[in-house]
Amino acid sequence: PIVLGIESSCDETGAGLVRDGRLLGQAVASSMDEHARFGGVVPEIASRAHLHALGPVIRQALDEAGLGLSDVDAVAVTTGPGLSGALQVGVAGAKSIAYALGVPLHGVHHLAGHVAADTLEHGPLPNPCVVLVVSGGHTSLLLVRDLARDPIVHLGDTLDDAAGECFDKVARVFGLPYPGGPAIDRAARVGDPRAVPFPRPLPGSYDFSFSGLKTAAARWAEGRAGRELPVADGAASLQEAVADVLTRRAMAACREYGVGTLVVVGGVAANSRVRSLAEERCRAAGIALRVPPLRLCTDNGAMIAAVGDLLVRAGAEPAPLDVSIDPSAPLEYATLHPVAAGT
Task: CB nearer to Mg ion: give 41 or 262.
Answer: 41
**Residue type, position 227, single letter:** R
Task: Rule CB under 6 A: say whether 8 interacts with ligand ATP.
Answer: no
Task: CB nearer to Fe ion: give 171 or 254.
Answer: 171
- R_g over Cα of the chain: 20
Kindly determine how many residues on this chain lie close enough to bind Mg ion according to the rule CB under 5 A. 3
Q: Which of the ranges 9-17, 139-147, 183-191, 232-240 carries the binding residues for Mg ion, by CB under 5 A?
A: 9-17
Query: How do beta strands 105-109 and 129-134 pair?
Result: unpaired
Task: Rule CB under 6 A: say whether 168 interacts with ligand ATP.
Answer: yes
Task: Rule CB under 6 A: say whether 234 interacts with ligand ATP.
Answer: no
Full strand arrangement of the beta sheet holding 105-109: 22-30, 12-19, 2-7, 74-80, 105-109
Neighbours of 331 (CB within 10 A): 22
Neighbours of 59 (CB within 10 A): 13
Q: For residues 160 and 210, is the Cβ–Cβ distance under 8 A?
A: yes
For residue 314, the SS3 value is: coil
Binder of Mg ion out of 7, 11, 161, 185 (CB under 5 A): 11
Binder of ligand ATP out of 161, 240, 299, 309 (CB under 6 A): 299
Q: How far is the CB of 137 from Fe ion (least distance, A)?
A: 7
Task: CB nearer to ligand ATP: give 19 or 186.
Answer: 186
Q: For residues 133 and 298, is the Cβ–Cβ distance under 8 A?
A: no
Neighbours of 180 (CB within 10 A): 25
Task: CB nearer to ligand ATP: give 149 or 275.
Answer: 275
Number of H helices, E strands in the chain: 12, 10
Task: Rule CB under 6 A: say whether 180 interacts with ligand ATP.
Answer: yes
Task: Rule CB under 6 A: say whether 185 interacts with ligand ATP.
Answer: yes
Q: How far is the CB of 45 from ligand ATP (least distance, A)?
A: 14
Distance of CA 153 to the CA centre of its chain: 17
Q: For residues 294 and 320, is the Cβ–Cβ distance under 8 A?
A: no
Task: Rule CB under 6 A: say whether 137 interacts with ligand ATP.
Answer: yes
- Of 3, 10, 32, 12, which is closest to residue 120 (Cα–Cα)? 3
Q: How far is the CB of 308 from ligand ATP (least distance, A)?
A: 17
Q: For residues 83 and 11, is the Cβ–Cβ distance under 8 A?
A: no
Partner touching 164 among Fe ion, ligand ATP, Mg ion, none, CB below 5 to 8 Å by kind: ligand ATP
Site residues for Mg ion per CB under 5 A: 10-12
Query: Residues comprising the binding site for Fe cation?
Result: 110, 114, 299
Site residues for ligand ATP per CB under 6 A: 9-10, 82, 110, 135-138, 164, 167-168, 179-182, 184-185, 266-268, 270-271, 298-299
Query: Residues comprising the binding site for substrate?
Result: 133-137, 168, 181, 185, 271
